[in-house]
């Protein structure tokens, strides 16, 4: 159905030895690195025009040479050249056999759940993305009678294993993990969860939402995940101008199911969005390295600020899951030094020393930044700042927010690619303007 793979369809550079063997090793071609694949897979020169960049294929339908005899594309919902390019590029970056593009990250969640029989059971990480929580509890629960148990999957290995054993049932079809979590940036040990699930519920699929780190920092398939989910809207497109999602997997069975549902439900991305997302993905390595370095600099600055009580950044040695961050980070993004701080994504959260029940101090800070834009979302080149308790996590009850540590003194920033001196000066000025320094 899709064009023949090319020289660049390599599955290399993966984080762990459990990665599937590369076709490169098998056919004698060189193993290409992350950015080479990001730039070339899916962007092969056009056979007709030799254009280096794929044209945007807006046609909804494709001429057949005889009935049922078509050159890979038939009708644009089923397959589109730009979506296909994007899907192949992303699959290559995740070391996956299959990639599937969707109209949003939320559409990926809905489509995966549509593959489940009625009355299935899901075990989910407790502080899952709000939209995923909403779909589980307000949509799938009523339309498919799907039951979800939310489980604390962080912390000590034996305790995590015990909680998983308690939660898993015979009808558990999916274990849903998100790491780091949002907005408190806790880490879940993907390999640990995978090992426990494979031993107690071998038929359940482990799904990992890897949106916060992108394939540059994390490749869950190499750690035992069955399906990786991305909101392309965030780092992979990276320019805050596309809403899109994707799933990748090495399982032929899951790929077939999802491909069928992608076409049947039709929550597909447009050709233009697929084209933009492929363009964004080409610079993923450069952007994510820079996001990480600047986020580390912001986190370090905040750690020594007198108005800040606690900084949540897994790359800092003070973070509870710092050791796990070192183990779980992809080899390509791993720090050279055996200890000390390192770049681990572009998201930083921090708690002000103010009363957690009082929203005024944080609101004052957020009112006084000029480079950081007050807005939801993340992963774009521009820095964003927000107050989760009243914005992204406003729908979570105050009791649950308190349990999750999401109160009015917790601020989340998506560190963009502006000059780091400007970003730090901006935060410094906001603290002063809020009378916190």
Going residue by residue from 230 to 269, which x/- string records binding to ligand PLP, judged by CB under 6 A? -x-xx--------x-x------------------------
106 binds ligand PLP (CB under 6 A): yes
CA distances from 59 to 43, 243, 258 (A): 19, 21, 24
104 binds ligand PLP (CB under 6 A): yes
Could you confirm whether 360 is annotated as catalytic? no
Kind and range of the H or E element at 177? strand 172-178
For the record, the structure tokens of 260 come out as: 């069928």
Strand partners, 384: 373, 414
348 binds ligand PLP (CB under 6 A): no
414 binds ligand PLP (CB under 6 A): no
Strand partners, 102: 245
**Binds ligand PLP (CB under 6 A): choice among 84, 178, 386, 426:** 178
Q: Which is nearer to ligand PLP, 8 or 313 (CB)?
A: 313
Reading phi first (left if > 0) and then psi (alpha if -120 to 50, else beta), residue 97 is in alpha
As measured in angstroms, the least distance from the Cβ of 131 to ligand PLP is: 5
Could you confirm whether 129 is annotated as catalytic? yes
130 binds ligand PLP (CB under 6 A): no
Could you confirm whether 46 is annotated as catalytic? no
Kind and range of the H or E element at 207? strand 205-209
Q: How far apart are CA 65 and CA 68, in angstroms?
A: 8
Q: Render 43-109 in DSSP notation, one character per residue.
A: -PPPTTT--SSPPP---SB---SBTTB-SS-SBTTT--HHHHHHHHHHHHHHT-SEEEEESSHHHHH
Going residue by residue from 195 to 214, which x/- string records binding to ligand PLP, judged by CB under 6 A? --------------x-xx--
- Say which of 37, 127, 129, 173 is annotated catalytic: 129
For the record, the structure tokens of 9 come out as: 């369809």
**Binds ligand PLP (CB under 6 A): choice among 3, 114, 115, 131:** 131
As measured in angstroms, the least distance from the Cβ of 179 to ligand PLP is: 10
Longest Cα separation, the chain: 74
Show the DSSP H helices in 232-359 as ranges: 252-265, 271-281, 284-303, 322-328
Residue range at the interface with ligand PLP (CB under 6 A); choices 75-83, 127-135, 144-152, 157-165: 127-135
129 binds ligand PLP (CB under 6 A): yes
Looking only at the bridges linking them, the beta strands covering 308-312 and 205-209 are unpaired
Residue 381 main-chain phi, psi, to 5 deg: -70, -20
- Say which of 13, 127, 189, 209 is annotated catalytic: 209
Please return the burial class of 62, using the count of CB atoms within 10 Å of its CB with bins 0-12, 13-18 and 19+. Answer: middle
Residue range at the interface with ligand PLP (CB under 6 A); choices 90-98, 102-110, 200-208, 277-285: 102-110
| Nearest residue relative to ligand PLP (C-beta) | 105
Could you confirm whether 77 is annotated as catalytic? yes
| Contacting positions for ligand PLP (CB under 6 A) | 104-106, 129, 131-132, 178, 182, 209, 211-212, 231, 233-234, 243, 245
Which residue numbers are catalytic?
77, 129, 209, 234
């Amino acid at each position: 159905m899709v064009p023949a793979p090319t020289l660049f369809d390599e599955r290399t550079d993966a984080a762990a030895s459990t990665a599937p063997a590369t076709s490169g090793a098998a056919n004698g071609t060189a193993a290409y690195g992350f950015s080479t694949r990001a730039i070339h897979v899916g962007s092969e020169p056009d056979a007709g025009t030799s254009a280096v960049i794929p044209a945007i294929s807006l046609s909804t339908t494709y001429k057949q040479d005889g009935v049922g005899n078509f050159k890979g594309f038939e009708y644009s919902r089923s397959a589109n050249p730009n979506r296909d390019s994007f899907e192949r590029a992303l699959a290559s970056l995740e070391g996956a056999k299959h990639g599937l593009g969707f109209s949003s990250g939320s559409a990926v969640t809905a489509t995966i759940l549509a593959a489940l029989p009625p009355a299935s059971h899901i075990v989910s990480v407790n502080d899952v993305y709000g939209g995923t929580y909403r779909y589980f509890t307000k949509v799938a629960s009523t339309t498919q009678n799907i039951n979800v148990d939310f489980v604390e999957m962080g912390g000590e290995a034996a305790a995590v294993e015990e909680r998983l054993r308690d939660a898993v049932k015979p009808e558990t079809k999916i274990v849903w993990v998100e790491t780091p979590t949002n907005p408190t940036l806790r880490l879940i040990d993907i390999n640990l969860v995978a090992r426990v699930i494979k031993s107690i519920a071998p038929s359940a699929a482990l799904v990992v939402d890897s949106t916060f780190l992108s394939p540059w920092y994390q490749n869950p398939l190499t750690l035992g995940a069955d399906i990786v989910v991305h909101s392309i809207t965030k780092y992979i497109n990276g320019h805050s101008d596309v809403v899109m999602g994707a799933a990748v997997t090495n399982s032929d069975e899951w790929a077939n199911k999802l491909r069928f549902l992608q076409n049947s439900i039709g929550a597909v991305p447009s050709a233009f969005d697929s084209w933009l997302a492929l363009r964004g993905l080409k610079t993923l390595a450069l952007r994510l390295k820079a996001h990480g370095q600047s986020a580390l600099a912001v986190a370090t600055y905040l750690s020594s600020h007198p108005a800040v009580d606690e900084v949540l950044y897994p790359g800092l040695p003070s973070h509870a899951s710092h050791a796990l961050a070192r183990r779980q980070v992809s080899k390509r993004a791993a720090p050279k030094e055996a200890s000390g701080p390192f770049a681990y994504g572009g998201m930083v959260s921090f708690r002000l020393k103010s009363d957690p029940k009082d929203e005024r101090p944080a609101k004052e800070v957020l009112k006084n930044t000029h480079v950081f834009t007050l807005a939801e979302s993340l992963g774009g080149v521009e820095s964003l700042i927000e107050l989760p308790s009243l914005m992204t996590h406003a729908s979570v009850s105050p009791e649950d927010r308190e349990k999750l540590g999401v109160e009015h003194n917790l601020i989340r920033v998506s560190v963009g690619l502006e000059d780091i001196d400007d970003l730090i000066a901006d935060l410094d000025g906001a603290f002063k303007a809020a009378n916190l320094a």
